[in-house]
């Protein structure tokens, strides 16, 4: 028994080590990639975009300068919003429930240890075997962080992945490949109650920046490969790389943004969506309505997520703490 526990603990430590290494490398890659895109945009794309592409009917010097200032302000707004949101999501702790002492566990939560684990799609376990702590509503354990453990209102996907292969080497390879596509690895952090808004705004800014960049660089790409004379001061290959990065990012992030917007609009987390999908089908077969207790309607869900005065939070980064989850579950959670 002790040998099995030791192997499990070793596996968790190995997963955490890989998560730290991959997460650090991906954060560095994001910084380098964004720096190159910004340098290329400000030194090549923006000078071409501003005066040269001003409306032909108003070719005066003042209109050209105003057009250039508009693009410069747009770039700076997207840059500050995306950078601040990214590092806020990275540096903000996702939020953890308070750790319950052994005596309190024995007095109030001992019965949860013996409760059977629900089958997939049938509900959530009320006891965390990793932390040996009760699991409150909307908390889940992230095996990659493997700190004290259960993340409040977890929206990331990394904790869902549990490889079935018993071979350790195969599991290591599959885990490494899978983590590259996970939210957890790209921001080197879990996405929980405290940093979900930062993460969502980061995704919004990435989509807007990539869409804006694609609109500006696509005419350059067309000119680069449909004109015999190339007079601009950058090689065609850089234009092609920038076009590929912007267009591919728009397509990829659109999927992530749509998923996140759907979850927020319906008052679900990524884990709850999997369970609710099964429960909804089961309720339909039994002829009864399915009710999500955390769904307060489209507008209230977004107000709860962004705050009622949401426009400043969208236009400018904010470090204000998010609102509590809801009145019924507020007492279940403690501060970070």
* 144 and 136 Cβ atoms separated by less than 8 Å: no
Residue-level pLDDT at 61: 66
Residue-level pLDDT at 135: 79
Residues of the chain with pLDDT under 50: 1-2, 5, 148-150, 155-181, 325-336
What separation in angstroms does the CA of 4 have from each of 10, 141, 176? 10, 20, 23
User: How far does CA 117 lie from the centroid of its chain?
Assistant: 28
Residue-level pLDDT at 148: 44
Residue-level pLDDT at 119: 65
Structure tokens at 208: 């807007």
Residue-level pLDDT at 56: 52
As a whole number of angstroms, the longest Cα–Cα distance in the chain is: 81
Alpha helical stretches, state H, the chain: 2-40, 46-49, 61-91, 102-104, 110-113, 168-179, 183-187, 196-226, 236-266, 270-285, 298-306, 311-315
Residues 6+ apart with CB under 8 A from 126: 112, 115, 134, 135
Helix, coil or strand: residue 140: strand
Predicted model pTM: 0.78
* Nearest Cα to Cα of residue 11 among 164, 127, 168: 168
User: Residues of the chain with pLDDT > 70: what percent?
Assistant: 68
Per-residue pLDDT tens digits for 298-310: 999 888 888 776 6
Per-residue pLDDT tens digits for 128-162: 877 777 877 777 777 666 654 445 555 443 333 33
CB atoms within 10 A of CB 313: 17
- Whole-number mean pLDDT of the chain? 73
DSSP letter string over 150-214? EEET---SGGG-------HHHHHHHHHHHHTTSHHHHHTS---TTTHHHHHHHHHHHHHHHHHHH
Helix, coil or strand: residue 286: coil
């Amino acid at each position: 028994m002790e040998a099995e526990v030791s192997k499990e603990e070793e596996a968790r430590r190995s997963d955490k080590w890989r998560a730290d290494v991959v997460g650090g490398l991906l954060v560095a890659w994001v910084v380098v990639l964004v720096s190159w895109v910004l340098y290329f945009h400000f030194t090549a794309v923006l000078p071409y975009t501003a005066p040269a592409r001003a409306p032909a009917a108003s070719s005066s010097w003042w209109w050209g300068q105003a057009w250039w200032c508009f693009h410069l302000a747009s770039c700076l707004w997207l840059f500050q919003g995306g950078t601040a949101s990214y590092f806020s999501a990275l540096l903000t702790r996702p939020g953890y429930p308070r750790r319950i002492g052994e005596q309190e566990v024995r007095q109030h939560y001992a019965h949860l240890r013996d409760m059977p684990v629900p089958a997939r799609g049938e509900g959530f376990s009320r006891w965390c075997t990793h932390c040996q702590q009760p699991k409150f509503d909307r908390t889940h354990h992230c095996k990659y962080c493997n700190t004290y453990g259960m993340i409040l209102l977890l929206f990331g996907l990394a904790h869902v992945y549990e490889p079935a292969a018993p071979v350790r080497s195969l599991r290591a390879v599959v885990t490494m490949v899978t983590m590259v596509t996970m939210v957890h690895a790209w921001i080197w952090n879990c996405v929980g109650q405290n940093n979900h808004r930062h993460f969502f705004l980061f995704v919004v800014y990435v989509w807007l920046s990539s869409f804006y960049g694609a609109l500006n660089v696509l005419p350059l790409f067309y000119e680069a490969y449909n004109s015999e004379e190339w007079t601009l001061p950058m090689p065609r290959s850089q234009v092609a790389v920038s076009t590929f990065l912007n267009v591919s990012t728009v397509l990829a992030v659109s999927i992530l943004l749509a998923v996140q917007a759907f979850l927020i609009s319906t008052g679900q987390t990524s884990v709850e969506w999997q369970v609710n999908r099964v429960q909804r089908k089961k309720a339909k077969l039994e002829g009864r309505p399915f009710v999500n207790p955390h769904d307060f309607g489209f507008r209230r869900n977004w107000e709860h997520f962004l705050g009622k005065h949401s426009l400043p939070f969208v236009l400018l980064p904010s470090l204000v703490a998010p609102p509590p989850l809801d009145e019924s579950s507020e007492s279940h959670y403690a501060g970070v």
